[in-house]
Structure 1
Amino acid sequence: MKKVTSKDNQYIKQAASLKNKKYRIREQMFLLEGKKMVAEALQACKPLIRVLVDEAHREEYRPLAERYRDPEWLEVDSRVFGGIAAADTPQGIVAVAPIPHNDFSDLFKQSAGLILLDQISDPGNLGTIIRTAWALGIDGILLSQGCTDPFSPKAVRASMGGVLNVPIYDAVSLSAIEQLKSGGYRVIGTDLDARASIFTGDYKGANIIVIGSESRGVSPDIQACCDSLIKIPINPAVDSLNAAVACAIIMMEVWKQRNNAFLS
């Protein structure tokens, strides 16, 4: 590993800047932090630009660096590494990865099961939803304009590598949703006042299930695009569920139907 001791090194400055959304957009890169996520990305041959290791953890990560010589590895002075790490308890390893770009037109070539997140604002919720979508075989996640950044450090940590494994389509407009409808997709919104339960829906074909924001639910414009509305039947004494929890319940029902599975 090449040794880096200065915070003014171009790669150090670039990595530190990626904690800011403006620079993630400009560079089209993001940070993947932590032993498990970086190791999984390397093992799955996901594209990484470089890996930075805290010098205090050099021996811990040496076997990984020797096994995966591409991408570039840098050993970083501990004081300098502290300016890169975003986690409260850094594990001494950070990778710089390119932001994946997925072709929206591919969605018209399949009968995908998609989740549309409408103005989700909490990065922890978003990351958890992405992780759950990966676990339950969702084909893609659409993010409406106004959603929080899925490649922020907090969202990436919560996704536990899901951002590299689930196709994410950012800033999806109302017209794009209408195009998908014209291409055969049914848009199913969630609403607390809906009459139909999620357990009565059919999710085997080309579907887009809409989850609204934590505070306002599905926006009126997107709700107007919906072919039907559903709700999760819950104790009426509870006013609502956390967005990530609600999404997980719905995704499990989608997974069950699309895999002809019965839960025991």
Structure 2
Amino acid sequence: MSSAPRAIDSLQNARAKKWLALSDARGIRKHGEFILSGRKTVPEALARYGSRFTAALVRTDNDLNRLALPPSIERYVLAKPLFEALDTNGTGFPLLVGAVPEMAAADFSKAPQGFELVLALGDPSNLGAALRSAAAFGVTRMVLMEGAAHPFHPKALRGGANAQFGLTFLKGGDWTALEGAKGPLAALDGAGSDIEAYAWPENLRLVLGEEGRGLPPELGATMLAIRTTGAVESLNATVAASLALSARYRRRSGR
């Protein structure tokens, strides 16, 4: 049986302060929680990943009827100023509070078991878009290098469209950690060989360079290039990642 909803009126309430801190990476790391918003993403996440969430935050009692909430999820009715402060995307739709999964350290001393996408996108919106592409093309293991945005930042969640909940995240450390990494390693570079001709191995780490800085010069990887007209010097990192993952998916699925 579900518990009765609890009302929170003050922004100074202890729970309210914690939720307000979840608008940035520091607060997410400190509390190990995140807030999901979205008229489409919230119901979809509840239906597929309901056990990942601990609380529902709504503006009125009637808003609780808009969600199929399992009994384990606590219910909170918030005063308008508090709800609007937490509803960073301005949807007006109920919000979900969830637990951030544990992220183990990547072990580069061992060859990859399967495919891993290694990246350090610092913009949470770009990271979210990359995660969405990864999920679309069957990638499940993401290695976040030092400087990467938090994958459960509100902007990353919006860009990811629930992709986060089907992915495994590993902490990769700084770029020097990749020096001497065992197993196949590939990276995107305009001077590399044609990505369309690459025979993608089953076990591989694909490295996406940092925005604006590119790849570490000491990285010992097979360089792969995405064919373009040459009208621009380089592609947006997220776009490049999407094209590379699409090329891998088509090659390995024979499509």
**TM-score category (smaller protein):** 0.7 to 0.9
For 2:249, the aligned partner's letter is W
Match of 2:127 in 1: 126
Cα distance, 1:125 vs structure 2? 1.0
Instruction: Give the gaps of 5 or more residues in structure 1.
Output: none
* 2:225 corresponds to which of 209, 224, 231: 231
Structure-2 residue corresponding to 1:240 = 234
State the distance in 2 between where 1:10 and 1:218 align. Answer: 43
Distance 1:215 1:174 in 2: 15
2:33 to 25, 29, 38: 29
Verify: 1:249 aligned to 2:243, yes or no: yes
Query: Are the counterparts in 2 of residues 189 and 226 from structure 1 also a CA contact under 8 Å?
Result: no
SS of alignment partner, residue 67 of structure 2: helix
1:88-167 pair list within 5 angstroms: 89-104=90-105, 111-117=113-119, 119-167=120-168
**Which one of 187, 190, 203 corresponds to residue 189 of structure 1?**
187
Matched position secondary structure for 1:216: coil
Structure 2 partner of 1:64 = 67
Q: Unaligned regions of 5+ residues in structure 2, if any? A: none
CA-based RMSD of the aligned residues comes to 2.3
Number of residue-to-residue matches in the alignment: 249
SS of structure 2 residue aligned to 1:35: coil
Aligned partner of residue 23 in structure 2, secondary structure: coil
Q: 1:122 to 1:20 in 2, by over 3 A?
A: closer
Q: Percent identity?
A: 24
Q: Report the residue type matching 1:85 in the other structure.
A: D
C-alpha spacing 1:172/1:248, structure 2 compared with 1 (3 Å) = same
- Residue pair 1:41, 1:161 contacting (<8 A) in 2 also: yes
Is the CA contact (8 Å cut-off) linking 2:103 and 2:171 kept in structure 1?
A: no
Q: Does the aligned pair in 2 maintain the 1:129–1:247 contact within 8 Å? A: yes
- The DSSP-based 3-state class of the residue aligned with 1:189 is strand
1:215 to 196, 212, 222: 212
1:18 aligns to what?
Answer: 22
Q: Deviations over 1:71-129 (max 9, x none)?
A: 11111121221121211x22332222111124457996973111111x32221111000
1:170 aligned to 2:171?
yes
Residue in structure 2 matching 1:47, options 48, 52, 65: 52
Are the structure 2 counterparts of residues 261 and 73 from structure 1 closer, same or farther at C-alpha, using a change threshold of 3 Å?
Answer: farther
| Distance change (3 Å), C-alpha of 1:171 and 1:30 | farther
Q: In 1, distance between residues paired with 2:148 and 2:52?
A: 25
Supply the AA of the counterpart residue of 1:172. Answer: G
- CA distance in 2 between partners of 1:110 and 1:149 (Å): 23
Looking at secondary structure, tell me which structure has more helix per residue. 1
Matches of 2:212 and 2:38, distance apart in 1: 31
- Residue 261 of structure 1 aligns with which residue? 254
2: distance between equivalents of 1:139 and 1:15? 28
What TM-score does the superposition give when structure 2 sets the normalisation length?
Answer: 0.87
Q: Distance in 2 between matches of 1:242 and 1:215?
A: 10
1:6 deviation in Å?
2.0
TM-score, with length taken from structure 1: 0.85
Distance change (3 Å), C-alpha of 1:142 and 1:86: same
Structure 1 letter corresponding to 2:194: S
Residue 206 (structure 1) shift: 0.7
